[in-house]
Amino acid sequence: MRIPPCQGRPRNRPRTAPSGALLFALLTTLGCAGSPPAPASEPYTPVAPPDEDAIGYFLANYDKSLRVWNKLSLAAPNPREQRELRALESSLRDRAKRRERELIDVLENGAPANREVAAVALGFTEDPAVLSPLLSSLSDPRPAVVQKALLGLGILADPATPLSEILFLLDRSPEPWTRNNAAYTIQRVLSAGGGDPQVAVTARTGLFDDEPGVRAQCASILGLLADPKAVQDLGGLLTDDANLVAGAAAAALARIGEEHLETKGEVARLLVDALDRVDSKRRPSLLLELSRLAGRNLGDQASQWREWAYRMP
């Protein structure tokens, strides 16, 4: 309650003012002599609690969960964090499914920031019905909305997803995150059984992208396709500045060598030659892929692997 100021001047004013707590006690106990009556205070109106059913409240909390999900997904989680990630993904799916109709409305008519959250959330619904509104959002003039729509399409991973527009974004978009998310979506759709005749051509071009994330995902795409035309370009990525890119290229090469026996010797020699040109942190991934390609482990010495690789045609 507000304490009205004293109007009268006290006769015996102390040399030092009392402390705040003491002053408050004195004023509330004794009042102010000669003061006019205090005005009536307005009744207290409590702040209404947030409406947990409101779509805005839902989106704000969902966005917080997405940030945690993104952090866990990008890390190399330990078993405890893996369990946490699985539980979080289950929660994201359940919550998105319950509000699917509202999320579609937000994606089509909401404010840009809300549309971004809605686009990702719709990917978690696992419902093919959301494919069309997500695809429509790829033509949005705001890059952030397009990027989140691509992420939603990648999470949805519907094998029926048409890839022509997504391939165009991977090949032509000036926005690094748009190209990165386009590559992610293509990789996810391919893994689910989808495809497009132009995927390999576009992914081979993506191996030379400025962004490490794009290069790495394009390498993985070519590994999924087991594209023998990509062998030499993938070999060039074994010494890429980014470990993520080099690891994806090594895995893709081993996959191609397994699927196309005519390339096995060439792939083996690319992997072996890289052993002498990379640092100690990168050698384990190369040795792992060599063991996978050979079907056995010849040890850590490059000489043993070189002898094996150079015996093949």
Q: What is the mean pLDDT of the chain?
A: 88
- Confidence label for 181 from pLDDT (cuts 50, 70 and 90): very high
Question: 26: how many CB neighbours lie within 10 A of its CB?
Answer: 12
- Look up the pTM and report it: 0.82
The rounded percent of the chain whose pLDDT value lies above 90 is 79
Residue 109 CA, chain-centre distance (Å), reads 24
Averaged pLDDT for residues 184-188 = 98
- 291 or 37, higher pLDDT: 291
Res. 5 pLDDT band, cuts 50 70 90: very low
Give yes or no for a contact between 302 and 272, defined as CB atoms under 8 angstroms apart: yes
CA pair distance 275, 285, nearest whole angstrom = 10
- What is the residue-wise DSSP string for 25-41? HHHHHH--TTPPPPPPP
Q: Is pLDDT at 45 greater than 80 in this prediction? A: no
pLDDT band with cut points at 50, 70 and 90 for residue 41: low
- Measured distance CA(224)–CA(14) in Å, rounded: 87
Q: How many other CB atoms sit within 10 Å of the CB of residue 95? A: 17
Average pLDDT in the 4-15 region? 43
Q: Can you give the pLDDT at residue 74?
A: 85
pLDDT of residue 51: 58
Confidence of residue 210 (pLDDT cuts 50, 70, 90): very high
Joined tokens for residue 231: 């062998």
Asked which of 38-52, 126-140, 224-238 is least confident by mean pLDDT, the reply is 38-52
The Cα–Cα gap between 45 and 279 comes to 67
Query: Mean pLDDT over residues 177-192, rounded?
Result: 98
- The pLDDT-based confidence of 78 (bands split at 50, 70, 90) is confident
Q: What is the mean pLDDT of residues 155-161?
A: 98
Query: Which CATH fold would you assign to the domain 55-156?
Result: Leucine-rich Repeat Variant (1.25.10)
Q: Residue 270 has what pLDDT?
A: 98
Neighbours of 24 (CB within 10 A): 12
- What span, in angstroms and rounded, lies between the C-alpha atoms of 277 and 302? 11
Whole-number pLDDT of residue 23: 31
Under a CB-based contact definition with an 8 Å cutoff, are residues 292 and 255 in contact?
Answer: no
CA distance 235 to 133: 39
- Average pLDDT, integer, range 263-287: 95
Confidence of residue 77 (pLDDT cuts 50, 70, 90): confident
Contact at 8 Å (CB) between 150 and 182?
Answer: yes
pLDDT score, position 53:
80
pLDDT at 246 over 90: yes
Q: Which two tokens stand for residue 20?
A: 């705040």
What pLDDT, on a 0 to 100 scale, did the predictor assign at position 13?
42
pLDDT, tens only, 82-95: 999 999 999 999 99
Gap between the Cα atoms of 147 and 142, Å rounded: 9
In this prediction, residues 209-218 reach a mean pLDDT of 98
How crowded is residue 260: how many other Cβ atoms within 10 Å of its Cβ?
Answer: 15
Report which of residues 121 and 41 the model is more confident about.
121
- What is the C-alpha separation between 135 and 63, in angstroms, rounded? 21
Q: Name residue, tokens 């994806």.
A: 248
Is a pLDDT exceeding 70 seen at residue 16? no
